[in-house]
């Protein structure tokens, strides 16, 4: 049975890993639409494509990075923090981190879409 200090340290490590992944994927996406807005608006006026294919393509292109980044970070820190040493726990934590990464990326894109210019974003 683990002692109380070990459990609290593990929970703190989980929190820090989760927040690092969330913020690390939110902030790079905050300026995405402001830098691409002139090109998007020109192509929108020329009716080259709609908003949904643009967004879907953007998310699909970022998907490999969003899948690899959490597993690299988790592989480096999971065993150093001394979490459970079974594959089920490792992959469940990876799936949780992957959900956090997807949420952080989507949150950054949402905030970027609301901001009218680069300074506001």
pTM, full prediction? 0.81
Contacts (Cβ under 8 Å, ≥6 apart) of 19: none
Quick one: residue 84, left, alpha or beta (phi over 0 = left, psi -120 to 50 = alpha)?
Answer: beta
Give the pLDDT confidence of 19-51 residue by residue, as tens digits.
999 999 998 888 888 888 888 888 888 888 888
Q: What is the pLDDT of residue 7?
A: 63
Contacts (Cβ under 8 Å, ≥6 apart) of 44: 51
Q: Is residue 98 a contact partner of residue 17, using CB atoms and an 8 Å limit? A: no
């Amino acid at each position: 049975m683990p002692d109380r200090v070990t459990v609290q340290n593990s929970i703190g490590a989980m929190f820090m890993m989760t927040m690092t992944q969330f913020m690390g994927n939110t902030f790079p996406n905050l300026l995405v639409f402001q830098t691409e807005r002139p090109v998007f608006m020109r192509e929108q006026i020329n009716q080259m494509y709609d908003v949904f294919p643009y967004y879907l393509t953007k998310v699909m292109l970022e998907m490999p990075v969003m899948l690899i980044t959490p597993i690299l970070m988790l592989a480096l820190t999971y065993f150093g923090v001394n979490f459970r040493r079974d594959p089920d726990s490792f992959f469940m934590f990876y799936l949780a981190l992957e959900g956090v990464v997807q949420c952080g990326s989507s949150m950054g894109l949402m905030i970027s879409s609301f901001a009218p210019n680069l300074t506001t974003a």
